[in-house]
Amino acid sequence: MRTIMEPFRIKMTEPIKIITKEERIQKLEEAFHNVFLLDAEDCAIDLLTDSGTGAMSAQQWAALMLGDESYAGSRSWKRFRDTIKTITNIKHVFPTHQGRAAESLLAMTRIKPGDVVPNNSHFDTTRANLEVAGAKALNLLNDEGLDPTLDAPFKGNMDIAKLEACIEEHGVAKIPFCMITVTNNTGGGQPVSMANIRGVKEVLKRHGIPLIIDACRFAENSYFIHEREEGYRGKALLEIAQEIFSYADAATMSLKKDGLANIGGFFVCNDDVWAEDFKNMLILREGFPTYGGLAGRDLEAISVGLMEALDFEYQTYRHATVSYLMNKLEKKGIPVMKPGGGHAVFLDAKAFMPHIPSLAYPGIALVNALYIEGGIRAVELGSVMFGSFDEAGIEQASPLELVRLAFPRRVYTQSHFDYLAEVIEEVWNHREAYAGLKITKQPKVLRHFSCHFQPLA
Ligand SMILES: *Cc1c(COP(=O)(O)O)cnc(C)c1O
């Protein structure tokens, strides 16, 4: 088989400044060993997130110029609405400035205190918005999804038996809707099968509970279904996506992911009452319903981006970048979470840095090592991000210590990934040299963004 090459060429470049190792040590100290506090320009390869960090195509840049900035009923809005209707076939379409704005308005209009909202795994903003409105956000992920070493095709699936038990326990009146996140971002970017979505929908339909899809990576999920699920080989990604949305009563999306845009989100729903309530809150918080916090040019770029994300060549290349890095790391025996996700590779920091106990944050030690050795910015998903305190105020470790290398879309080429693999290998070869850290300053919530660390050695 030949190399799967990037299905694009480059006509505009952005320089990468590579500072020296000594400078990086200095910068990291100034950032209190927290890579969130670094300047982006001091990072040679920035894999902090795949959200809003992608490169737009020539078609998208051209579409920007067609942006109609009329306040109400603009041409760009109609294009946005029609594109989303083509993909989802859902009746009411609302733009928002990000995914979390759609979540927040949904929670404000549909949640009452004491409600329960199941999901395969809630993303952190989804959980936070539901909880602020007084709901309990439940993760009903299949057991397969909880095992980082198990190689299974659809580790993002919801456990349908757990869903039935949840409805039994809490009762239909307490469950205003159920969500399913494709792909499962917090669970390693693992996909959900069509059979699972269909199965979840069947259970919900019996009880009259609506299904809302968190559709941030619907195109990556559609590709996984095409590759891994019986009966989908001959189908276009658009057809697969349309089938996913055919089971949904509503959907939220961050267009910073599979919208291939740098900003944007949407909410769609079939119910007229839901739509009316959402619209009124949208006007109050985001803007008139035909722009919802976005510029006309954003709506244009998003309309092009959504269809490009469903391009088969693009998805083939995108998934090849993940497999390429996974294969390189696995060959060296470097511990990674299996199988590769849709948008990221996850290093298993516990196995990578076994000499560092969980509460000395092996994930942060690894993140820091990757930055110092190669200027790579990654993110810890472990005891710092998910750490909690028990009633006695004693810090509890997270079950998994992962480091996520998220891939911005269409930004880095194969040589960047080769460089990345070399740096990771170098850190692996000297792993005993890296020490754990302690936290010297932290806020009460979402501490990973701003806390300060100090190395222990
Ligand atoms: C990014 C993301 C969101 C939130 O979207 P923002 O645009 O960052 O507000 C919600 N759910 C999932 C699964 C996400 O990945």
Mean pLDDT, 10 residues at a time, the chain of 457 residues? 92 94 98 98 97 98 98 98 98 98 98 98 92 95 89 96 98 98 90 98 98 98 98 97 98 98 98 98 97 97 98 97 96 94 94 96 98 97 87 89 96 97 98 96 87 93
Instruction: Judge whether 157 lies within some domain.
Output: yes
Pair 268, 124 in one domain: yes
Pair 317, 330 in one domain: yes
Please tell me if the CB atom of residue 126 comes closer than 6 angstroms to any atom of ligand 1: yes
Pair 331, 409 in one domain: yes
3-class secondary structure, 321: helix
Instruction: Judge whether 451 lies within some domain.
Output: yes
Domain that holds residue 420: 21-50+312-455
Pair 229, 362 in one domain: no
CA 123 to ligand 1 centroid distance, Å: 7
> What CA–CA distance (Å, rounded) separates 408 from 101?
22
Burial category of 235 from C-beta neighbours within 10 Å (exposed 0-12, middle 13-18, buried 19 and up): middle
Domain end residue (candidates: 309, 339, 363) = 309
Pair 37, 92 in one domain: no
Domain end residue (candidates: 254, 277, 309) = 309
Instruction: Judge whether 279 lies within some domain.
Output: yes
CATH classification at residue 384: 3.90.1150.10
Burial category of 151 from C-beta neighbours within 10 Å (exposed 0-12, middle 13-18, buried 19 and up): exposed
Q: From the CB of residue 437, how many other CB atoms can be counted at a distance below 10 Å?
A: 24
Please tell me if the CB atom of residue 129 comes closer than 6 angstroms to any atom of ligand 1: no
Instruction: Judge whether 9 lies within some domain.
Output: no
The predicted structure's pLDDT at residue 429: 97
Pair 357, 411 in one domain: yes
Please tell me if the CB atom of residue 96 comes closer than 6 angstroms to any atom of ligand 1: no
Strands (DSSP E) found in 255-400: 265-269, 344-348, 376-377, 379-381, 388-389, 395-396
Domain end residue (candidates: 255, 287, 309) = 309
Pair 332, 431 in one domain: yes
> What CA–CA distance (Å, rounded) separates 109 from 96?
15
Pair 240, 137 in one domain: yes
Instruction: Judge whether 267 lies within some domain.
Output: yes
3-class secondary structure, 157: coil
Pair 215, 261 in one domain: yes
Please tell me if the CB atom of residue 216 comes closer than 6 angstroms to any atom of ligand 1: yes
Instruction: Judge whether 238 lies within some domain.
Output: yes
CATH classification at residue 181: 3.40.640.10
- Among 49, 119, 123, which residue has the most ligand 1 atoms within 8 Å of its CB, making it the best to mutate? 123
For atom 8 of ligand 1, which residue has the closest CA? Answer: 99
Enclosing H/E stretch for 141: none
The predicted structure's pLDDT at residue 147: 85
For atom 5 of ligand 1, which residue has the closest CA? Answer: 99
Please tell me if the CB atom of residue 122 comes closer than 6 angstroms to any atom of ligand 1: no
Pair 296, 437 in one domain: no
Q: How many domains does the chain have?
A: 2
Instruction: Judge whether 5 lies within some domain.
Output: no
Q: Which residue has 């961050």 as its token pair?
A: 254
For residue 426, give both structure tokens. Answer: 């170098």
Mention every residue, 6+ apart, whose C-beta is less than 8 A from residue 192.
120, 154, 156, 157, 158, 180, 181, 182, 183, 184, 221
The predicted structure's pLDDT at residue 250: 98
Pair 231, 96 in one domain: yes
CA 359 to ligand 1 centroid distance, Å: 28
CA 353 to ligand 1 centroid distance, Å: 30
Pair 412, 347 in one domain: yes
| Amino acid type, 128 | A
The predicted structure's pLDDT at residue 188: 85
For atom 2 of ligand 1, which residue has the closest CA? Answer: 254
Please tell me if the CB atom of residue 185 comes closer than 6 angstroms to any atom of ligand 1: yes
Instruction: Judge whether 11 lies within some domain.
Output: no
Residue 184 per-residue DSSP state: B
